[in-house]
Structure 1
Amino acid sequence: MGTAIFMVLMVCGYWYTSRDLSTRLKLRRTFGWDVYFLVALYGCIFVLQGILTTAIIWLCLLLTSIVMNAVPEMTGSDDHRLQMTFMNWSFLGIQAPVVIMLAFAILFCLYRSNWARSANLNSDGRRQLYKYLSRANGIEGLIYQCMETGQLAWLTLKSQRVYIGMIHTATVDSTSLNNIVLIPMLTGYRERDSAEFKIENNYSALYASQNITLSSEPHSALHFRKVILLDQVESISLFDPSQSLALGYRKESEANGE
């Protein structure tokens, strides 16, 4: 019986932590033995909920027995002890209350993992959750600041490719597939010797000339989106177009001798 309780406890904890979005993000930030304790913690919560539900059933049977014994003319003269029958009932060699408790623990786990409202967040809910969980991480915090405010981000990849644009969405709940979906404004590369940024594509000029927006038809800015794996990003920072244009103007003026 103890083995069955332990197995259900660990399986429920693992199922919940691997499928609930917020818990999965917390689990990704946990290492070593803390992972096992976190899984066991959530498993204990579901088992305790099952114990409380079983206790409520026992209490309901007790109250029913008291009422039935109080009106023998309606229920007979026998001494009704439904709660004791419930406690002594066995299923496959295991006491029925234990089986019912484990069944409720599994149902609570499935509900919280798959059917509860918190387990099916919309885009706004995900954004708020990511914002809360990314406060302790500089890169993730900057990403979701750009997502929330619409500020442009400057991404430099390990290959020295440079992307400047709006961060549309980001995925950080997977170890190997963390990515950023970027709507590009400028793309280019840094020269290896001088580290000077060379522009190759000016998407912002294309958007302006063809009246392309996030909701335009038949083509929108999302048709030009770039999906960038987060482990390929070398650095990320905010991009201020006004300062960049002013800097470019000063360099041009110096080159012309003005």
Structure 2
Amino acid sequence: MALLLVLLILVLGYRHCTAIPAQKSILKRSSGWESYVLLGNHGLGGLWLGFVTFIVLVPAIYGAMIIFSLVIAIFGIEARPVTALTQFLWYKQIAGIDVWVIAVGIFSILMGPQKIKQDLSKDSNKNWTDELRKQDAISDIVIYASSEVKPVKISLKSRKVYVGLIDREQFERIDSDNIVIIPYLSGHREKDSLKVEFDSNYIDVYQKNKIEHFNTSGEPSNAKLADFRCVIRLNEVESISLFDLQYYQDFRPDE
């Protein structure tokens, strides 16, 4: 029975974590005992909710049985529904498991979706993205830049540098986390001075080919900004920061 109880707790915890975006991200980025602790924490919460529901309903059921006993006594029917309920609920076993334990498990499973619904309605989209931003500094900057539509400068370990808008991001698995950007500029850092040199200006290409909001003439274009998307693995990122061309020029020494 102990093994089944542990499995129930883990299943309840997994169902809850995978339904809440922030918890899903935390779970997929966890490993080893951290995952079990996270699942156990939410699973115990679901089990406790099922137990409370059971405790609340038991007096109501007993009350109904007492009323039923009084009704059948009026008609002279000899029966003891309260005793039968007590024997079944507290002393009966199914497959070696007490009936009341099975009832708590069933209530935990049934109340799980309601708890998930409450948590989702309580935590708005902004709240769970704020929770994701608390995980690490890169997540903070990336989510902020994505929500505010601000350009970022991403420096890679290979000394490659990209400047652009974040199209989307994936922060679920440590080994496959990535950032998808629409590049504006790209270049490299010099080996010795680490000075950034931009050698590709995508903005000029967008304007020349009249792509989407860079189309100043209003003429239709078959190309889309999405066609230029670039996927960057997070484990290749050395640094990331918000980027403003005006401020960037202010930091550059006069040449």
TM over 0.5: yes
Which residue of structure 2 lines up, in the alignment, with residue 52 of structure 1?
Answer: 52
Across the aligned residues of Structure 1 and Structure 2, the Cα RMSD in angstroms comes to: 3.4
Distance 1:179 1:26 in 2: 16
After superposition, the Cα gap between the structure-2 partners of 1:32 and 1:144, relative to the gap in structure 1 and judged at 3 Å, is same
Structure 1 SS opposite 2:231: strand
Q: Is residue 69 of structure 1 aligned with residue 69 of structure 2?
A: yes
Match 2:225 to one of 221, 227, 248: 221
Q: Confirm or deny: 8 A CA contact 2:29 2:172 kept in the other structure.
A: no
Which residue of structure 1 lines up, in the alignment, with residue 169 of structure 2?
Answer: 170
Q: Confirm or deny: 8 A CA contact 2:210 2:221 kept in the other structure.
A: no
Q: How many residues align?
A: 245
Q: For each residue in 1:46-103, what CA deviation from the matched residue of structure 2 results, as whole angstroms up to 9, or x when unmatched?
A: 2212222333442332121122123334694533316315414432232222122223
Which residue of structure 1 lines up, in the alignment, with residue 39 of structure 2?
Answer: 39
Which residue of structure 1 lines up, in the alignment, with residue 191 of structure 2?
Answer: 192
Bigger mean CA offset, 127-136 vs 227-236: 127-136
Q: Is residue 83 of structure 1 aligned with residue 82 of structure 2?
A: no
Q: Is residue 94 of structure 1 aligned with residue 94 of structure 2?
A: no
After superposition, the Cα gap between the structure-2 partners of 1:187 and 1:117, relative to the gap in structure 1 and judged at 3 Å, is farther
Query: Could you tell me how far 1:174 is from its partner in structure 2?
Result: 1.3
Distance 1:214 1:235 in 2: 29
Distance 2:76 2:152 in 1: 76
Query: Could you tell me how far 1:217 is from its partner in structure 2?
Result: 6.5
Distance 1:234 1:112 in 2: 43
Query: Could you tell me how far 1:236 is from its partner in structure 2?
Result: 0.9
Structure 2 SS opposite 1:185: strand
Query: Could you tell me how far 1:233 is from its partner in structure 2?
Result: 0.5
After superposition, the Cα gap between the structure-2 partners of 1:241 and 1:117, relative to the gap in structure 1 and judged at 3 Å, is farther
Q: Confirm or deny: 8 A CA contact 2:151 2:243 kept in the other structure.
A: yes
Q: Confirm or deny: 8 A CA contact 2:29 2:173 kept in the other structure.
A: no
Which residue of structure 1 lines up, in the alignment, with residue 148 of structure 2?
Answer: 149
Q: Confirm or deny: 8 A CA contact 1:214 1:222 kept in the other structure.
A: no
Structure 2 SS opposite 1:177: coil
Bigger mean CA offset, 201-210 vs 76-85: 76-85
After superposition, the Cα gap between the structure-2 partners of 1:246 and 1:9, relative to the gap in structure 1 and judged at 3 Å, is closer
Distance 2:27 2:240 in 1: 25
Structure 2 SS opposite 1:231: helix
Distance 1:214 1:104 in 2: 54
Q: For each residue in 1:225-257, what CA deviation from the matched residue of structure 2 results, as whole angstroms up to 9, or x when unmatched?
A: 111111100111121111334567x74xx4xxx
Identity, % of aligned positions: 24
| TM-score, normalised with respect to structure 1 | 0.77
Structure 2 SS opposite 1:71: helix
Query: Could you tell me how far 1:9 is from its partner in structure 2?
Result: 2.0
Query: Could you tell me how far 1:106 is from its partner in structure 2?
Result: 3.7
Q: For each residue in 1:96-143, what CA deviation from the matched residue of structure 2 results, as whole angstroms up to 9, or x when unmatched?
A: 22122223334445x379x848679xxx93x65233332363222111
Unaligned runs of 5+ in 2: 215-219
Distance 2:28 2:78 in 1: 61
Q: Confirm or deny: 8 A CA contact 1:214 1:221 kept in the other structure.
A: no
Q: Is residue 236 of structure 1 aligned with residue 240 of structure 2?
A: yes
After superposition, the Cα gap between the structure-2 partners of 1:118 and 1:44, relative to the gap in structure 1 and judged at 3 Å, is closer
What amino acid is aligned across from residue 235 of structure 1 in structure 2? Answer: S
Which residue of structure 2 lines up, in the alignment, with residue 208 of structure 1?
Answer: 207
Query: Could you tell me how far 1:146 is from its partner in structure 2?
Result: 1.0
| TM-score, normalised with respect to structure 2 | 0.78
What amino acid is aligned across from residue 24 of structure 1 in structure 2? Answer: K
Bigger mean CA offset, 239-248 vs 136-145: 239-248
Structure 1 SS opposite 2:81: coil
